[in-house]
Structure formats: structure tokens, C-alpha cells
Amino acid sequence: MNTTIYNNLLTTFDPYTTKHVNNSTELRSVVKRIRKQTQTSPVYLLNFTNAKQSFVLGVKESSMRIHDSLQTLADDSENGVFAQKKARSSDVEQVGAELLDTDTDHLPNAFSIRVKQLANSQVNQGKEYYETGKGLAAGSYQFRVMVNDVGYDFQYNIRKDANHREVIEGLSDFITKAKIGINAEPYSYGDGKIGMRLESTMVGAPDGKAIFSLEDKSSEGKGRGIVEYYGLDHITVMPKSAVFDLNGTEKSSLSNEFTLGRAVKISLRKPSDVETTIDYHPDSEAIIGSVEEFVSSYNSLVDHNLTFEQKTGTQSKLLNELKKLSEPFTNELESCGISFDEEGHMILDTSLATQAIEAGDMQKLFQPDSAMTNRMFAKTDQIKINPIEYVDKKVVSYPNFTKPPRGYSYITSLYSGLLFNFYC
């Protein structure tokens, strides 16, 4: 084979690195299969056109991807995709749930929550003044902000002739950028007036007290301080803690989000008179993703065969084999949302697949000892070892079975041109 053509093909096909590392036993098995293939195969004369080279490379890579995706789905260990769980809420509008710990052995049992009251932030809303009006005299104004018993001293300068809009916008930006746990912004109802709204970034009421407070300290100008003048200490919404029933027992939380058992993150979203149940189910999204990878790899193999048929005008032997391989499992596949079109492509119905995952049928289909999985593994192994089987060739001589078998393990490379350094 012309190696320059092969190297060019490597730039066309994305070099594939297998996700699974072969151990010594698997490598010995591969060598034995290659040796057996060499010893029992005729000697062929092959016209290796560009189309045939592209087909062989594509078929081998697709079969390896199918093999890897099957290994992922057939992994029945505690780290396998079917062992992954996710928390499920019976009413996501009221309560959300998310697993933080992948160790499912330490998850709390299924439980119920009824949200009575959500935690909220503190809101202060100051006095309104006409935007273009002028109030406080020019000068330096000092005030203190207490946030959860921590004091922050501020000094704000008002320039001469500054109107209310300029003062409130500047002071709001000044407080927010201090990052002390308060967001301040101007507000207006469109009547030409402006005021300041302050809201805590925290929620909940420790000991039923306010989260923050403001007070004037001193000012160089005459008259009232800036806090009193603009009414920044006026509380319009008091902070409250979340109140909920956990398995019928009333609990409270300073936040609408908390963790149970260091494993489940709970998000309270809306009060309700009905309990929400939190339990655990297979991670259907992760499983669907693995099934989609399998379907995509299978369809890639089909596409390589269809393209080869169009270029050469010959019927694909491998397409017929794949069809016969899947026929006995048609009902099982369809019950899991996997069907076939006229050309042989797999079609995945995610809604049916999700139902099959919940029912456990998808796991049964891809379990390591299932007939479908074993037959698919056997077929992909056969394709990987000798993809040249699926192109036309002339027999030069048959092996002599009257004598002890002889041959080299990698002699098939002379026919397939497949010497990969990414995998065996």
C-alpha cells in the first residue's frame, strides 16, 4: 500500500484514541485472533483503490467507536452509566433537587417537603424627590452601614449644584461597588421623581432582625445627614427565613437552598399546600447520551457502507450482516426506542428510550451477558481484526491445512494497511 495515501487519509479521518485501555490479557487475545486469521485466510490479490482504502479505514474506526460505546453501556460496575443516579422532585415548581455526591450508598432515603414560606431579602426604599431638584448642600457626608453586625463607614461628597438624580445615581453606584452585601439602585415611577432602593444580597432573618441598617454620622454641610434626608433607613420589606415541613416536621432555613446529608442540594421555589416527594432514579440524561453515542457510531458504519456502494456499484456485504445481526432483537430494540430506517440507520426515540430507562429495559438490553451485546461485540471484533473482508479481492492460494499453521501475527496489515499507533 502507498503509505502517502494512508497518511493523507489520517488527515481526513479524525485519529481515534480508544477510551478503554487494553490490559495484557486483552492484548494477547487480539494477537491470537490476528494469528488465527492469518493462518486460516487465503492469500489475496487486491486492487487497493482510494475508495477501498477510505472504506476500510472508515469501517475500522466506526467499529472501534461502536465497541467503545458498547463497553460504556455494558459496564455494570458501580461507576457504570446505569449506576449513576439523579434526584427527582415530584413538583419541580415547588422544590428542586440535585445530587452532590455520586456515592449512592450514602444518600438519604426518599423524603417529602412542603414549602410554607420562602426566605426573602431585606428591601429599603427611600424618599422620592423631583429629579432636577436640589436638596442637600454641597459638602462631605459620612454615614455608617451595619450588615449582620459588621460596620462599614462611608463618606460621600456632594458637589455644588448637584440635582437629586445625580446624587442618587452616584450614591447608589458608590454603595453597590463597595460589595458589602447590598445592591443599591435608583427607582422611578415615571412621574419625574427619583428615589433609592437598597436590597440585601442575602436572604433570611437571623434572630428575626434586619440584615442591614444605615445611620448618619456627621456632615460638613448644614442640616440633615444624607441617610435621613433620602430616607435610606426606611425598611419596606423585612427579611424572612424559609419555613418548610421535612417528612412532616417543621424546619427553617436562612436560605432557600440547603444541603441534606451532604449529598442532596434542595432548592425551595414556591410555597404550596401539597407535599413534594424527592427520590432517586437513573440518570436518564447520561444514559441517553451514551445510547446516542452508540447509535451515532452504528450509523457512521452504515454511512461508510452506503458511500462505498455508491462509489463502486457493488452491494455491501457488511450491511446485510448488520441487518441479520439486529433482526432477532427488533422487538427489544423498539421497546427501548431504537428502530431502523430503510437504509439501515438506527433511529432513537428519546421519549421511549427514557421510559425504557425508568423501567430497566434499556439496562437489560445492554447488560454484558445479553445476546444482543455479545453478538455486537463479536461483530465489531471481527471487523477490527480484518476489515479487508468487506472489499472485493481475488484469491491467489488457499491455506494448506495438511501442514502445521504458520504465519505472523501482523501479516494482515499487508492486506489492510492498518498499522495504527493509537490502539491495537
Spatial separation of the C-alpha atoms in residues 46 and 44, rounded to whole Å: 6
Within this chain, do residues 319 and 302 fall inside the same structural domain, yes or no? yes
Q: Is residue 256 part of a domain?
A: yes
Q: Is residue 42 part of a domain?
A: yes
- 178 and 207 in contact (C-beta within 8 Å)? no
β-partners of residue 154 are 143
Q: Is residue 149 part of a domain?
A: yes
Considering only CA atoms, give the Rg of the chain.
35
Question: In tens digits, what is the pLDDT along the chain, a chain of 424 residues?
Answer: 445 555 555 555 555 555 555 567 766 776 677 777 766 677 777 777 788 888 888 888 899 899 999 999 999 888 889 988 889 999 999 999 998 876 666 788 899 999 999 999 999 999 999 999 998 888 899 999 999 989 999 999 999 889 999 999 999 999 999 999 999 999 998 889 999 999 999 999 878 899 999 999 875 555 689 999 999 999 999 999 999 999 999 999 999 999 988 889 999 999 999 999 999 988 999 999 999 999 999 999 999 999 888 888 888 889 999 999 999 999 999 999 999 999 999 999 999 999 999 999 999 999 999 999 999 999 998 888 888 888 877 776 666 667 776 655 445 544 444 444 344 4
Rounded to the nearest 10°, the torsion over CA 28, 396, 309, 376 is -20
Q: Is residue 208 part of a domain?
A: yes
Domain count, the chain: 3
Within this chain, do residues 407 and 291 fall inside the same structural domain, yes or no? yes
Q: Is residue 358 part of a domain?
A: yes
CB count within 10 Å of CB 355 equals: 16
Q: Is residue 168 part of a domain?
A: yes
Within this chain, do residues 293 and 373 fall inside the same structural domain, yes or no? yes
Spatial separation of the C-alpha atoms in residues 239 and 245, rounded to whole Å: 20
**Sequential DSSP letters for 282-325:** E-HHHHHHHHHHHHHHHHHHHHHHHHHHHHH----HHHHHHHHH
User: What pTM did the predictor assign?
Assistant: 0.67
- 236 and 125 in contact (C-beta within 8 Å)? yes
Within this chain, do residues 136 and 230 fall inside the same structural domain, yes or no? yes
- 257 and 119 in contact (C-beta within 8 Å)? no
Within this chain, do residues 162 and 194 fall inside the same structural domain, yes or no? yes
Spatial separation of the C-alpha atoms in residues 393 and 400, rounded to whole Å: 19
Within this chain, do residues 26 and 130 fall inside the same structural domain, yes or no? no
- 291 and 348 in contact (C-beta within 8 Å)? yes
**Sequential DSSP letters for 347-411:** EE-HHHHHHHHHHTHHHHHHSTT-HHHHHHHHHHHHHHH-GGGGS--EEEE---TTS-----TTT
Residues in contact with 53: Cβ distance below 8 Å, sequence separation at least 6, in sequence order:
1, 5, 6, 9, 417
Within this chain, do residues 165 and 299 fall inside the same structural domain, yes or no? no
Whole domain around residue 134: which residue ranges? 123-237
End-to-end CA distance of the chain: 20
- 39 and 405 in contact (C-beta within 8 Å)? yes
39 membership: H or E segment, kind and range: helix 24-40
Within this chain, do residues 75 and 138 fall inside the same structural domain, yes or no? no
Within this chain, do residues 112 and 195 fall inside the same structural domain, yes or no? no
Within this chain, do residues 195 and 253 fall inside the same structural domain, yes or no? no
**Within 178-220, where are the H helices?**
none
Residues in contact with 328: Cβ distance below 8 Å, sequence separation at least 6, in sequence order:
371
Q: Is residue 61 part of a domain?
A: yes
Within this chain, do residues 103 and 183 fall inside the same structural domain, yes or no? no
Q: Is residue 307 part of a domain?
A: yes
Within this chain, do residues 110 and 142 fall inside the same structural domain, yes or no? no
